[in-house]
Structure 1
């Protein structure tokens, strides 16, 4: 099943807006590409399920260092190691981005709800999005790289 290209912009805009607001960093978008399932997890991967007129998964991948850098910028405290608090904060960051994007999707005629985030810690786990191809959006910040995977399909 093909993922709709119009599902990308809400996530790109939301990620840029939330990252800039929460961490004070500028966000630069790399080349968007289409990939088949499965994806190989990064050191930290936040997964958020989406149900409704758009359904599937949105995933945010990054290194543990990037996660620590993001949380340090968000809290104003130096976070030296990826711990439970850092994991929770990164999950919430993904939740806020996806929540904002779901509002944009609804405005575009794709009402949907999001599930609470899950976090996969450890590089190399195979995560299948089954028959849904992923639009992959690389984002660069001064705090590190984040890869957004949008594996959504339209339902009727």
Structure 2
């Protein structure tokens, strides 16, 4: 995976964590993994589509997630209830959104999906043949790990192949009468 795909996420994560949760972020050792990812207590998954595509995952222990969401929401959380899950999902959403803005500024158009939050450790998440860059970020709240399994779309490919599918001779862009 190209390091140019890592930097926008790393910069965005450090900025957002420092501002939103007063994290005082320190980066751990970056590593490349080719195996399935085993989820932490809390894992936020966000897919990217477009010129840059794949999946980004943010993992943390329950105590880290509760500490972070308590700071973000301005109230104490002792369990990962739906409101806390929403706050953690939004944290991943903001980081990913800022990274895609940086991609856009560099000429790459990509969009992010709605976040998916996995609660419970030990879930195997396969990125198939996408290797993952793993970036541990040490914060005041605990370890926050960024997993990036991203690729740059090869030039000359269709931006949205679904637009070119037809059904019974009717192009997809035509509306039903």
- Aligned residue for 2:61? 63
TM-score in terms of structure 1 length: 0.95
Q: Could you list the runs of 4 or more consecutive aligned residues of structure 1 that deviate by over 2 angstroms after TM superposition?
A: none
Q: Counterparts in 2 of 1:10-25, with a 5 A limit?
A: 10-25=8-23
Q: Counterparts in 2 of 1:12-91, with a 5 A limit?
A: 12-91=10-89
1:108 deviates by 2.2
- In structure 1, C-alpha distance between the alignment counterparts of 2:86 and 2:21, rounded to whole Å: 16
After superposition, the C-alpha distances for 1:49-85 in whole angstroms (9 at most, x for unaligned) are 0001110000000011111000111122111111111
- In structure 1, C-alpha distance between the alignment counterparts of 2:21 and 2:118, rounded to whole Å: 22
- Per chain length, whose mean CA-contact separation is higher, i.e. which structure has more relative contact order (CA < 8 Å, sep 6+)? 1
Please tell me whether Structure 1 or Structure 2 has the larger radius of gyration of its CA atoms: 2
Superposed CA RMSD in Å reads 0.9
List runs of 5+ in structure 1 lacking aligned partners: none
Indicate if the aligned counterparts of 1:32 and 1:135 stay in contact, CA closer than 8 A: yes
- In structure 2, C-alpha distance between the alignment counterparts of 1:103 and 1:21, rounded to whole Å: 18
TM-score in terms of structure 2 length: 0.84
- In structure 2, C-alpha distance between the alignment counterparts of 1:37 and 1:4, rounded to whole Å: 18
1:35 deviates by 0.5
Q: Counterparts in 2 of 1:124-143, with a 5 A limit?
A: 124-143=122-141
List runs of 5+ in structure 2 lacking aligned partners: 155-177
- In structure 1, C-alpha distance between the alignment counterparts of 2:101 and 2:42, rounded to whole Å: 25
